[in-house]
């Protein structure tokens, strides 16, 4: 199964901080939630479709979702039957990338990106009475949705928000004008001295199936209160939005993409702006970093992925490790390797 002949040591000669949660399938982009007293994880399901690597992510050819669950950290992990497959989504053609889930109104909601039949990424929603599914998809994507990586945060007052977007293969740069530009707007990624493209945020309607307003920019500021610039690849947003709340503050976390960090920016409301407060996961083995953060019984946990089992960027495995905070509320940096 694995291309790496020594699974206890990474190519850099170091050991691994954590171990894959499951080994019989490849899983990535984990979105973890506490539902019904258990931890449920909604990952991508990586497969090897024989497609060469490229910067648009063509090799990430996922076609369905399988939900994982555990009673407690460190305990056995269950992989449930297929929760949703692309053949059951009328509007979608391919590439069911990183999903998320939410619970409200006695119903479970699965949010997922996929390319439509015109090759444009949209975001869909599917529902189930069970956190593990199966889920039934709406016939059309969410109106006004685009790009990838939906992450849904339900605040203490019950208001729900979706954060989404990803550059490069995620097509966010092609929406810079508010309309999809199939070929010409990638130049926005080369404007290093201008504010970086932002993730998007929108509150959801009461039925959790639509946007209550047009998506807004989730602006990330540097320490001087200025928008992070496109050329600052160690700070700017690339993909993998995740929001959580702690101590009354809103933690917008994300991946820097081509510099391979997980980063955190903190604000005082769900819309931002959010001030950059550092990296909290150093680069893992493999190209991508995508994560979630969840509190369970008073402890905080980071879910992430790497390629320990396969050695291939498009065949990843979900892991978890405890997350700790500094006295000022910032997140302590995690090294995914051990000596």
| Torsion of Cα atoms, 42 then 46 then 52 then 55, to 10° | 10
d(CA 173, CA 166): 8
d(CA 53, CA 7): 23
72 is catalytic: no
d(CA 46, CA 175): 27
Contacts of residue 128, Cβ cutoff 8 Å, sequence gap at least 6: 83, 107, 108, 110, 134, 135, 136
Residue of 46, 100, 188, 239 with catalytic role: 239
d(CA 86, CA 250): 33
Residue of 29, 46, 100, 306 with catalytic role: 29
Asked whether 241 and 163 are in contact (CB, 8 A), the reply is yes
138 is catalytic: no
Contacts of residue 221, Cβ cutoff 8 Å, sequence gap at least 6: 227, 228, 265, 273, 274, 275, 276
Active site residues: 29, 239
């Amino acid at each position: 199964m694995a291309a790496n002949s020594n699974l206890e040591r990474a190519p850099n000669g170091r050991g691994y901080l954590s171990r894959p949660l499951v080994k019989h399938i490849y899983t990535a982009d984990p979105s973890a939630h506490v539902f019904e007293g258990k931890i449920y994880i909604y990952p991508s399901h990586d497969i090897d479709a024989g497609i060469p690597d490229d910067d648009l992510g063509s090799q990430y050819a996922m076609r369905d979702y399988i939900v994982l669950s555990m009673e407690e950290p460190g305990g056995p992990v269950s992989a449930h039957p297929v929760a949703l497959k692309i053949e059951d989504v009328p509007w979608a053609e391919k590439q069911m990338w990183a999903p998320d889930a939410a619970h409200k109104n006695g119903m479970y909601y699965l949010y997922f990106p996929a390319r439509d039949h015109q090759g444009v990424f949209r975001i869909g929603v599917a529902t189930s009475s069970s956190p593990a599914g199966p889920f039934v998809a709406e016939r059309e994507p969410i109106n006004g949705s685009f790009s990838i990586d939906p992450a849904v945060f339900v605040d203490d007052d019950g208001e729900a928000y979706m954060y989404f977007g990803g550059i490069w293969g995620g097509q966010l740069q092609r929406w810079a004008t508010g309309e999809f530009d199939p070929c010409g707007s990638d130049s926005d990624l080369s404007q290093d001295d201008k504010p970086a493209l932002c993730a998007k945020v929108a509150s959801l309607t009461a039925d959790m199936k639509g946007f209550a307003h047009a998506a807004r920019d989730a602006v990330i500021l540097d320490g001087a209160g200025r928008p992070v610039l496109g050329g600052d690849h160690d700070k700017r947003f690339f993909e993998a939005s995740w929001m959580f709340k702690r101590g009354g503050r809103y933690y917008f976390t994300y991946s820097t993409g081509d510099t391979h960090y997980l980063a955190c920016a903190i604000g005082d409301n769900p819309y931002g702006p959010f001030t950059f407060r550092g990296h909290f996961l150093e680069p893992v083995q493999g190209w991508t970093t995508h994560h979630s953060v969840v509190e369970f019984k008073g402890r905080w946990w980071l879910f992430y992925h790497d390629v320990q089992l396969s050695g291939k960027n498009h065949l990843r495995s979900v892991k978890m490790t405890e997350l700790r905070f500094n006295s000022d509320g910032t997140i302590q940096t995690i090294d995914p390797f051990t000596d």
